[in-house]
Amino acid sequence: MKNPDYSDPKAKHELDFLSQYQKKGYTNNFRVEDHTLIASGEDTNYKPEEVFIVAEHRYEGMSDPSDQSILYVITTENDKKGTILNAYGPSADLDIHEFINAIPEKNKSHDDSILNIE
């Protein structure tokens, strides 16, 4: 696993990274429903053990430090690539939070983080 940098002091917003990941093929928008991950516009459900987090980035609002979010960059066992965004702290979506926590540690790396690619 590469060094897990989570944030970039130059990034003002998660959208700064979304377009870079989309260029790398992470084009699906994921959501969590009934304890499974689903790519937008599709019916396939993924269990936590079928999901891999390849990068994550945390953001704090420029004008409001309580405006916090985290971007997860994800692949699935059948090579679907995309992202899911969640708030963190008191405004976090608990379904997303619980799903991410249920992903096995061996499925979490930062190997494809745009902050860590040599």
For 27, list phi and psi in degrees, rounded to 5: -105, -15
pLDDT in tens, 57-104: 887 655 455 567 889 999 999 999 999 999 877 788 899 999 999 999
Average pLDDT, the chain: 82
CB 116 within 8 A of CB 2: yes
SS3 62: coil
Q: Could you tell me the pTM of the whole model?
A: 0.81
